């Protein structure tokens, strides 16, 4: 129950002895919750003359808005880009498992796929509220297939497409439906892309620029057409150049619409983005930074081969690469088969992988901690980059990513080192570290 009929008579919870992230500051205040929403205690005291039905001591910990991941390709063996018979059960498993990482809402992400995959998968992943069953689904993020061949990264070249013939109708024919779609990543240099951007934004869909060779002028024009986001900044785009900074230049451009904030995703996993690059982006435009995991199905699993959409990836430690073709299991005829245990990329007999990164295997709380350490930013800003900023990107800042009065009571309890101790959705405890250790 989120503030609907009967909310006034619902139980009131008071979280005490805590520091609340509100208005960009950590405040030593109590948090009041009723009917799934954050409650203004003054109205409770003076208008209703009520007190809390239950008090919970937080032991001096931090209470921050629940994390929102707008780019996650799967995890724990589940690949959102695989057209299985029961897509929903896979989404549900990931939704449940990411609660332990403080994520209360997410956008399941599909990488470049053939039309038949979109037609089967997209209708099976509806928008869904979070709860004890798992994090809420805010809508799909469709990353591709309308992207640059030169900057396709881990996306399979065979399934890339353009919309030069019929523009928006080509996009509709590829995806089948836009009913459950929240974000679309495309390359703005593609022919007739601005028509498509305008059509998508008119339908309330966020357009993100990525996997692109666009120069700064093309990127600026795309923003004027309605684009609002940059997919994993620095990755799969032209490198920064002093005469034409490309898409990266949007962070400091003076040619954007007045009052428009451009948001950009950052994969702070320690692999995709050098700490110096994280610091440059943060210092140039801190209010637009959105932490994303870009997690792949190998999240939560070990070394070895896993899927990502239509191809295989190879995990080696903390890094995932596009896998090469499997060699003959017996190896070259002049050599015996390898019988030695070793990391998956350490032997030519067992691996012919590439050096192309293919998503991350770091969960959101790890990204938050690495971002804080790498940039030296405040704890408040690191937490907002995973909560308030993605909510603002999606136009949900009144209900998500905030602990302001009236917002959804989705929040995470953290210790001083920003390790997750508990996760709440609609004011209900949905994961607790202490219980998980038992």
Would you please indicate which residues are annotated as catalytic (active-site) residues?
294
- Sign, CA torsion 341/344/345/351: positive
Tokens in use for 172?
């509709």
| 83 annotated among ligand-binding-site residues | no
Q: Is 309 annotated as a binding residue?
A: no
Please tell me whether 236 is known to bind a ligand: yes
Is 283 annotated to bind ligand? no
* Residue 343: both structure tokens together: 């990391």
Among candidate residues 135, 245, 146, the one with its CA nearest the CA of residue 200: 146
User: Does 381 appear as a known binding residue?
Assistant: no
Q: Is 232 annotated as a binding residue?
A: yes
CA distance 331 to 338: 8
* Residue 242 annotated in ligand binding: no
229: number of Cβ within 10 Å:
26
Round to whole Å and give the CA distance between 332 and 353.
16
Is 143 assigned to a binding site? Answer: yes
Q: At what angle do helices 193-202 and 168-175 cross, to 10 degrees?
A: 60
Dist. CA 121–CA 379, nearest whole Å: 38
Phi, psi of 189 (to 5 degrees): -80, -10
DSSP code for 272: S
**Helix, strand or coil for residue 54?**
strand
Q: Is 42 annotated as a binding residue?
A: no
Annotated binding site for Zn(2+): 143, 211, 232
Annotated binding site for substrate: 154, 235-236, 243, 272, 357-359
């Amino acid at each position: 129950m989120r503030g609907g009929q009967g909310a006034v008579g619902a139980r009131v919870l008071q979280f005490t002895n805590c520091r609340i992230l509100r208005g960009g500051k950590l405040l030593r205040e109590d948090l009041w919750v009723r009917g799934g929403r954050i409650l203004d205690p003054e109205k409770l005291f003076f208008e209703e003359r009520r007190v809390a039905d239950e008090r919970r001591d937080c032991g001096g910990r931090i209470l921050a808005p629940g994390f929102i991941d707008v780019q996650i390709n799967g995890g724990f063996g589940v690949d959102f880009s695989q057209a299985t018979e029961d897509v929903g059960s896979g989404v549900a498993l990931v939704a449940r498992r990411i609660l332990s990482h403080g994520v209360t809402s997410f956008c399941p992400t599909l990488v470049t796929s053939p039309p038949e995959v979109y037609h089967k998968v997209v209708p099976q992943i509806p928008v869904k509220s979070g709860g004890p069953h798992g994090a809420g689904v805010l809508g799909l993020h469709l990353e591709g297939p309308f992207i640059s061949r030169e900057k396709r990264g881990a996306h399979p070249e065979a399934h890339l497409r353009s919309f030069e013939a019929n523009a928006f109708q080509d996009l509709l024919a590829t995806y089948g439906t836009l009913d459950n779609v929240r974000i679309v990543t495309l390359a703005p240099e593609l022919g007739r892309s601005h028509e498509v951007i305008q059509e998508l934004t008119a339908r309330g869909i966020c357009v993100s620029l990525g996997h692109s060779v666009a120069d700064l002028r093309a990127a600026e024009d795309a923003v004027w057409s309605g684009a609002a986001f940059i997919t994993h900044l620095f990755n799969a785009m032209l490198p920064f150049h002093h005469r034409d900074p490309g898409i990266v230049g949007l962070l400091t451009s003076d040619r954007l619409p007045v009052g428009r904030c451009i948001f950009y995703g950052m994969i702070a996993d320690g692999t995709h983005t050098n700490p110096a690059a994280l610091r440059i982006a943060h210092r140039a435009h801190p209010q637009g930074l959105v932490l994303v995991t870009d997690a792949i199905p190998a999240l939560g699993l070990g070394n070895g081969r896993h899927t990502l959409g239509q191809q295989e990836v190879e995990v080696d430690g903390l890094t995932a690469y596009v896998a090469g073709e499997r060699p003959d299991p017996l190896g070259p005829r002049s050599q015996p088969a390898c019988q030695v245990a070793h990391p998956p990329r350490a032997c030519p007999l067992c691996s012919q992988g590439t050096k192309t990164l293919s998503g991350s295997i770091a969960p959101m709380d790890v990204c938050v901690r690495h971002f804080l350490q790498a940039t030296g930013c405040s704890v408040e800003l690191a937490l907002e980059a995973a909560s308030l900023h993605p909510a603002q990107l999606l136009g949900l800042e009144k209900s998500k990513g905030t602990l302001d009065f009236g917002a959804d009571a989705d929040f995470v309890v953290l210790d001083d080192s920003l390790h997750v101790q508990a996760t709440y959705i609609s004011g209900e405890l949905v994961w607790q570290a202490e219980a998980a250790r038992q």
